[in-house]
Chain A
Amino acid sequence: DGGITQSPKYLFRKEGQNVTLSCEQNLNHDAMYWYRQDPGQGLRLIYYSQIVNDFQKGDIAEGYSVSREKKESFPLTVTSAQKNPTAFYLCASSIDYRRNTGELFFGEGSRLTVL
Chain B
Amino acid sequence: AQSVAQPEDQVNVAEGNPLTVKCTYSVSGNPYLFWYVQYPNRGLQFLLKYITGDNLVKGSYGFEAEFNKSQTSFHLKKPSALVSDSALYFCAVRDITWDSGYSTLTFGKGTMLLVSP
**In the complex, number of A-B residue pairs with CB atoms less than 8 Å apart:** 54
Chain A at the B interface: mostly helix, strand, loop or mixed?
strand
Shortest CB distance A93–B (Å)? 11
Chain B 1-42 interface 0/1 with A at a Cβ cutoff of 8 Å (1 = within)? 000000001000000000000000000000010101000011
Please tell me which one of the listed residues A40, A58, A101, A105 contacts residue B104 in the complex, with CB atoms under 8 A apart.
A58
Please tell me which one of the listed residues A48, A90, A103 contacts residue B43 in the complex, with CB atoms under 8 A apart.
A90
Question: How large, as a class, is the contact surface on chain B?
Answer: 20 to 34
Q: Does A108 contact B (CB under 8 A)?
A: yes
Asked if residues B32 and A42 are in contact (CB atoms below 8 Å), the reply is: no
Asked if residues B45 and A48 are in contact (CB atoms below 8 Å), the reply is: no
Shortest CB distance A6–B (Å)? 8
Which of B34, B43, B96, B102 is packed against the most chain A CB atoms within 10 Å?
A: B43
Asked if residues A100 and B96 are in contact (CB atoms below 8 Å), the reply is: yes
Within 8 A of A (CB), among B79-117: 90, 94, 96, 102-105, 107-110
The residue on B at minimum CB distance from A43 is B107
Asked if residues A42 and B90 are in contact (CB atoms below 8 Å), the reply is: yes
Contacts of A105 in B (CB 8 A): 46
Contacts of B46 in A (CB 8 A): 103-105
Q: Does A25 contact B (CB under 8 A)?
A: no
The residue on B at minimum CB distance from A101 is B51
B interface with A by C-beta (< 8 Å):
9, 32, 34, 36, 41-46, 49, 51, 90, 94, 96, 102-105, 107-110
